[in-house]
Amino acid sequence: MTAPPPPGRRSPAPPPSLPALLSHRAATAPDRVALICGPHSLSFGTWRARSDALAAGLRARGLVPGDRVVLRYGSGDWTEYAVAYCGVLRAGCVAVPMSDRQAPAAAARLLADSGAKAVLHRAGVRPPLPSGADDAYPAAPWSGTAQEVEAAAAPGPLPFPDPGALAQILYTSGTTGTPKGVAATHANLVHGCTLDERRRPLRHSAHFLHAFPVGTNAGQTMLVNTLDAAAAGIAAPQFTPARFARLIEEHAVGSVFLVPAMAIELLGSEAARRRSTASVRLVGSTAAALPQPVAVGLSRAFPQAQVVNYYTSTEAAPAQITLLFDPDRPQSPGRPASLRDLRITDPEGRSLAPGEPGEVWLRSPVSPRTYHGDTGAAAEVFQGRWVRMGDLGRLDEEGFLHLLDRERDVVKSGAHKVSTLQVEDALHAHPAVADAAAFGVPHPVLGSVVAAVVVPRGELTAPALRTFLLDRLAAHELPARLLFRPSLPRNEGGKILKRELRLLLDDEALR
C-alpha cells in the first residue's frame, strides 16, 4: 500500500493525456523496460522517441488533429502497436485499434465506419483497404508501417493533445450484432493514472502478465497499465497454458490478467501445473463472468494470490468495479470496494433495496464515453455519467454483488426466468466438464427452454450429466437440449459466441 504524501506536500496533478504520461516516464527512467512481447522489448525512452517521430511523420504526411488512424496489429506485435498507438495520440489524431485477425470484410466495414484517413500495420502484411473512392468512402486511406512513417518525420516539437479532445474509437466485440464504435477522450483514457512515482500501481513485483489481443477493451487496459504501473508489462504473443505458466515462473510474475476461457485452460493443463506460481499475488479476470467453480480453482492454483473480478465494459471504462473474490462466498464474484458508483435499478431507473434484482449501472468518474456516429442506442446506455451495463444483478445485505445474467441471455421459459450463468456454474461444477455454455432456444409451448453445449474432459455421457444437475438446478433450469463438442466458439476477446451455438443446434436438428 502506498504511503500518503508528507504534510504540506501535494501529489502532482494527473497527466492530461497518455502521451504526456509516456513523456514523464521517459524523462524519469528512460532505460527502464516498459513492455516485453516475445523476443521484443521496449524501454520508456525508446517508446517516447519512436512515438514522437511517428507523430511528426503523420503530420508530415498530411494528417491533422482529429483524423482517424486504424491500427491493425496482432498479439505478437504489442511493442510495435504501443509505439503506433502513442504516436497517433501524440499527433492529435484518433486511434482506432483493430486486431489483424479481423475478417477482411469486417475490417473494411470498420474502416469505412470510422472514416479512417490512414492505416498503420506491421511489416509484411497488407491490410484490407477499400478499392477506391465511392459514396460510402469518399477518400480511401493510405497505409504503412510505423517505421516507414517515422522515417518521414519532420523536425519540430508538437503540442500535447487537449484532454477533452477525441483520442480513441474502440469497437465492441459484436457478439450480439454489428460492432459499435465507442469514442473516448484523452481525459477518459488517462483517468486514474499518476505522475507520482510513489503511487504507481502493481508495486508488489517487477512484472505483470497478460495475453489479451489488440483491439479489445482488456488489451487497451493493459496498455494503460504498461504506461502507468510500477511493474513492466509482459504480453504473451499467443495464449497457451504451458507458455503462460512458463512466463510466470521465468519472470517471477506478480500479477496475472486473464479472461475466463484462459483460466479454464490454465486450470486444466498438466504442463501448467508443473510450473511454480509462488510469485503471483494478484489474479485478475475480466471480459466475462467467471464461473464459480473456476474462481475457486484459481484461488487454489494461486494460493498466495487474491483473485479479483474486474467488472466493466468498453462503454463504461474507466468506470470499473473491483470485486475481491472470497472462496468462502463462491456464489458471488465479490464485494465491491465501494458502492458509490454502482446501483441496481428497476426498469424505470429507481434504485432497488438490497436483495432485489434489477439492472446494473456504473458511474464514470470522468466524462463518459459515447457511441461514434448515430447508432440510436446511446440514449439507452448513457445517462449522464451513468452507464447501463446490460446485466441483471442484485446486492445482498452484506454488500456482495450477485450477477444474475446478461439481460439479453435470460431464458424466459413459461412462467420462469432462468439465469444462464447459474446453469453454467452448475455445469462447470462437474469434474468431467472442461467448458460449457447455456442459452435459450425456442419452444412451441413454453416460449423458450434452456440448451447447453458442453466440452467434456474424458468420459462423460448426457444421462450422467443430467443426473448430476438434478441436485443443483430446478426442473425449469435443466437443459432440455444437451450437446457435446470438442470446443466452444469464442471471439478473440474470449467471449462465447452463443449465436453460433444456436446455429449448431439447428444443424443437429436437421440431421
Collapsed DSSP state (helix, strand, coil) of residue 313: coil
Which residue type sits at 207?
A: H
What is the C-alpha separation between 193 and 195, in angstroms, rounded?
Answer: 7
What is the C-alpha separation between 357 and 360, in angstroms, rounded?
Answer: 9
Question: pTM score, two decimals?
Answer: 0.88
Q: Is residue 95 within 8 Å of 168, Cβ to Cβ? A: yes
- List Cα–Cα distances, 499 to 7, 58, 373, 417, 490, in angstroms: 57, 40, 26, 20, 11
Per-residue pLDDT reduced to its tens digit, 286-339: 888 888 899 999 999 999 999 999 988 889 899 888 888 888 888 888 888 778
What is the C-alpha separation between 140 and 81, in angstroms, rounded?
Answer: 22
pLDDT in tens, the chain (511 residues): 334 444 444 556 789 999 999 999 999 999 999 999 999 999 999 999 999 999 999 999 999 999 999 999 999 999 999 999 999 999 999 999 998 888 888 888 889 999 999 999 998 777 666 554 444 444 678 999 999 999 988 777 899 999 999 999 999 876 556 788 999 999 999 999 999 999 999 998 899 999 999 989 999 999 999 999 999 999 999 999 999 999 999 999 999 999 999 999 999 999 888 999 999 999 999 888 888 899 999 999 999 999 999 988 889 899 888 888 888 888 888 888 778 889 999 988 899 999 999 999 999 888 889 999 866 778 888 988 899 999 999 999 888 889 888 888 899 988 888 999 999 999 999 999 999 999 999 988 889 999 999 999 989 999 999 999 999 999 999 999 999 999 999 888 788 888 888 888 776 554 4
What residues contact 444, with CB distance under 8 A and at least 6 apart?
Answer: none
Q: Is residue 361 within 8 Å of 387, Cβ to Cβ? A: yes
Determine how β-strand 342-345 pairs with β-strand 142-144: unpaired
pLDDT at 322: 87
Q: Give me the domains of the chain, ranges plus CATH numbers.
A: 18-189 (3.40.50.12780), 410-510 (3.30.300.30)
- List Cα–Cα distances, 282 to 257, 285, 310, in angstroms: 8, 10, 12
Q: What Rg, from alpha-carbon coordinates, does the chain have?
A: 23
Quote the cell numbers at residue 154.
519532420
Q: Is residue 246 within 8 Å of 217, Cβ to Cβ? A: no
Quote the cell numbers at residue 387.
452507464
Per-residue pLDDT reduced to its tens digit, 189-244: 999 999 999 999 999 889 999 999 998 999 999 999 999 999 999 999 999 999 99
Cis-peptide into 237, omega within 30 deg: no
**Alpha helices for 252-339 (secondary structure H):** 260-267, 270-273, 292-301
Collapsed DSSP state (helix, strand, coil) of residue 158: coil
pLDDT at 444: 87
Dihedral sign computed on CA atoms, order 448, 294, 269, 431: negative
Q: Is residue 325 within 8 Å of 336, Cβ to Cβ? A: no
What residues contact 379, with CB distance under 8 A and at least 6 apart?
Answer: none
pLDDT at 483: 93
Q: Is residue 260 within 8 Å of 289, Cβ to Cβ? A: yes
Quote the cell numbers at residue 467.
443426473
